[in-house]
A = this chain, B = another copy of it.
Amino acid sequence: MKNPAFEMEMKVRDYECDLQGIVNNANYQHYLEHTRHEFLLTKGISFAELHEKGIDAVIARVEISYKTPLKSRDKFISQLRVEIDGFKQVFHQEILRLPDMKLCIRAKADNVCLVNGVLSRCDELAEKLIN
């Protein structure tokens, strides 16, 4: 990904692998979510604190292409960039295996905000994300 807004290094944990010996599909969503939340923290936004204030950031849609599976002991880089599209904050995300930087996952996750359960524009959040 060119010019990621954020990236972090992670490592596969053995319990994340399933009986095929590779990371289970669902765990990539955990990696992607954790990366988004760590990114939010760098912008001064806490997912947990938002929830306590009655604002729930929720994923409305996700697309994930699985390119190369990660295995036990693999390290990887998880990257993202974000664009604002009306009510949506669109996260473009990639997971790249270390050290060969092979593309493992390409994903797009559309986030929206519910304020007390109602879909809301959340301009304040959007502004923080892109600055």
Contacts and interface: CB of A to CB of B under 8 A. Distances in A.
Interface of A: 13-15, 17-22, 24-27, 29-30, 33-34, 37, 41, 46-48, 51, 56, 58-66, 69, 71-73
Contact of A63 (B20, B25, B59, B61): B61
Contacts of A69: 58
A76 to B, nearest CB: 15
B14 A19 contact: yes
* Prevailing SS type, chain A contact patch: mixed
Contacts of A46: 72-73
A71 B49 CA distance: 12
A13 B25 contact: no
A71 B29 CA distance: 19
A62 B64 contact: yes
B33 A21 contact: no
Nearest to A21: B19
Contacts of A58: 20, 22, 66, 69
B56 A20 contact: yes
B72 A19 contact: yes
A24 B25 CA distance: 14
A6 to B, nearest CB: 15
A63 B62 CA distance: 6
